[in-house]
Structure 1
């Protein structure tokens, strides 16, 4: 019987799980599953190859998984067959036969995305994407979050897949601010109710801090700050209030501001500012 008391020895893994979960795996069922590879193997300095390659700026995790499925990634000459392969480093790893360098320090860029561009690497329908317009001398970058085709404004681009994921997770609470020009009637009281969140067609949208900036006739500018950034969240919430959005601009993502960056312009965030920001991320 004393040997069956071994489970308590595994309890140190529990704090690791608590950090990783959003809040729904504290039940016994979740605990039973939880000695997961990520928890135990990361303690040994091992990580999934897809995560390491994304962190090294090769491509997003999803794109890396596609490259692995295509047999384009190998280690010491042997093709890697699954993105779950655990490695301590990228030593000996190649993409299309080319060695992959260990991750350089993360870089972050502010980009003023114009309306009419997709936030994707390629589009099956041949529509223009941000990658068609970015400067040729920019390193390989990934967008932090997305802006839909008709939304303009601040889009952050990074060379580091880990930073991208960190900034996108709702659990980190990184705020995004938008300015929307909308047609219709809405009161400040209605906008203030959004602070409690709202459910639309079965989808729950979290806290939104919304303020009416100015009104001209039935047109108004509204500023909205949120932390989730679900697909088309701002448009759907305002349409639910009976408004028609004619222009949507993201002006801020975390401490990084669009300011007077011209449409199509790209500017690198100072390394010092990025380091300070990352220290505050949990």
Structure 2
């Protein structure tokens, strides 16, 4: 069955669908010997010759789909490799999982839940803004935020000329003059939480993502991971319909 090349490439665990699109635009993909530069191009790996950076994709060798939830510590970046030599989430995984790629990102100084998979369809669903997948965070900020600031956070603030979506914000502890906040958001702009906090005059001391949709970090120590079961994967698909 013919499908878009970027979807096929993501299904083989070579890159996420967005990364595959860029690879096509950069001329790194050949179809039946010809360089492809149009994102709408379709192919069938069982009958067409598809090459990515000179590597042939075999229709009979499509890898099994794997879904993994990792508890990322601080000091790691959410990419498969880094030209600057920094540690990546791949350094936390055995080599048999190095064909997976992260779904979304947590920045270097943040920790917590990150999903990795070679299922490009699910990754695309989870990342698409229209699905509003809930992500839950614990955020430690300096001082005690005023009711006014918390209300603004809940309602949404302007970032890059566009308001953030309404969020659930609850102070759950005050310790040593600092506050621990439980935060639920339905979008994931670049460094969104830190930028919103800065906009409100709040200093983030620590940021940890503790949940993605129906997934939590229960029983997963920092730097460790677990595989998702079939019911969890099915629920993620249901959440992104």
Q: Which runs of structure 2 are paired with 1:103-122 in the superposition (5 Å)?
A: 106-122=65-81
Q: Distance in 2 between matches of 1:279 and 1:217?
A: 42
Does 2:10 match 1:79? no
Report the CA distance shift for 1:238/1:165 in structure 2 as closer, same or farther (over 3 A).
same
Query: Are 2:137 and 2:183, in contact at CA under 8 Å, matched by a contact in 1?
Result: yes
Q: Which residue of 1 aligns with 2:121?
A: 162
User: What is the deviation of 1:184?
Assistant: 2.3
Unaligned residue ranges in structure 1 (runs of 5+): 1-44
What's the offset of the Cα at 1:109? 0.8
Q: TM-score, normalised by structure 2?
A: 0.87
Does the 8 Å CA contact 1:114/1:264 hold for their aligned counterparts?
yes
Show CA shifts across 1:94-141 (max 9, x none).
332433347556431100111011112232322222123322121511
Shift in CA distance, 204/68, structure 1 to aligned 2, threshold 3 Å: same
Q: 2:58 aligns with which of 78, 100, 119?
A: 100
Displacement after TM superposition at 1:254 (Å): 0.4
Q: After superposition, what is the alpha-carbon deviation per residue over 1:83-104, rounded to whole angstroms, capped at 9, x for unaligned?
A: 5252242223233243334755
Distance 1:66 1:192, change over 3 A: closer
User: Does the 8 Å CA contact 1:215/1:221 hold for their aligned counterparts?
Assistant: yes
Are the structure 2 counterparts of residues 208 and 241 from structure 1 closer, same or farther at C-alpha, using a change threshold of 3 Å? same
Shift of 1:59: 1.1
Cα 1:210/1:63, change in 2 over 3 Å: same
- Distance of 1:73 and 1:193 partners within structure 2: 47
Preserved contact between residue 185 and residue 243 of structure 1 (Cα < 8 Å): no
Q: 1:80 to 1:98 in 2, by over 3 A?
A: same
Call closer, same or farther: CA 1:123–1:261 in 2, change over 3 Å: same
Greater Cα radius of gyration, structure 1 or 2: 1
- Cα 1:212–1:97 change in 2 (3 A) is closer
Once the two structures are TM-superposed, the CA of residue 195 in structure 1 deviates from its matched residue by 2.6
Runs of 4+ in 1 over 6 A off after TM superposition: none
**Secondary structure class of the residue paired with 2:96:** coil
Distance in 1, Cα, partners of 2:59 & 2:73: 33
- Counterpart of 2:12 in structure 1 is 56
Gaps of 5+ in 2: none
Question: What CA RMSD, in Å, does the superposition of the two structures yield over aligned residues?
Answer: 2.4
How far is the alpha carbon of 1:58 from its aligned partner? 2.0
For the structure 1 residues 135 and 152, does the alpha-carbon distance in structure 2 shift closer, same or farther, using more than 3 Å as the test? same
Native 8 Å contact 1:184 1:242 kept in 2: no
Judge conservation of contact 2:21–2:39 (CA < 8 Å) in 1. no
CA distance 1:200–1:64, change in 2 (3 Å): closer
Q: Which has the higher contact order (CA 8 A, sep 6+)?
A: 2
